Amino acid sequence: QDMTEKELLKMELDQLKKEVKNERQMVSKTAKELKDYIESMAGEDPLLKGVPEDKNPFKEKGGCTIS
């Protein structure tokens, strides 16, 4: 990029000012909430339960035979 060192430092300072305003939470609390959310949504997760063949857009539709 064509940014001077002063511009880069100003951008970094602006980002740090934004981050310092963020409310912090304990990992022990947020990890439990995240685990509970993941477990509650597991029934709808296609990576866990799979995708039905009739709704799979990546299903192989046919083959190609070279003779």
pLDDT in tens, 3-45: 899 999 999 999 999 999 999 999 999 999 999 999 999 998 9
User: Rounded to whole angstroms, how far apart are CA atoms 52 and 4?
Assistant: 54
pTM score of the predicted model: 0.47
pLDDT on residue 21 = 94
Flag whether 65 is in a domain: no
Q: How many domains does one find in the chain?
A: 1
pLDDT on residue 25 = 92
Flag whether 40 is in a domain: yes
pLDDT on residue 1 = 61
Domain containing residue 31: CATH number: 4.10.260.10
Flag whether 24 is in a domain: yes
Count of residues in the chain: 67
Scanning 1-67, the segments in alpha helix (DSSP H) are: 5-20, 27-41, 46-49
**Higher pLDDT pick, 60 / 20:** 20
Q: What is the mean pLDDT of residues 48-54?
A: 85
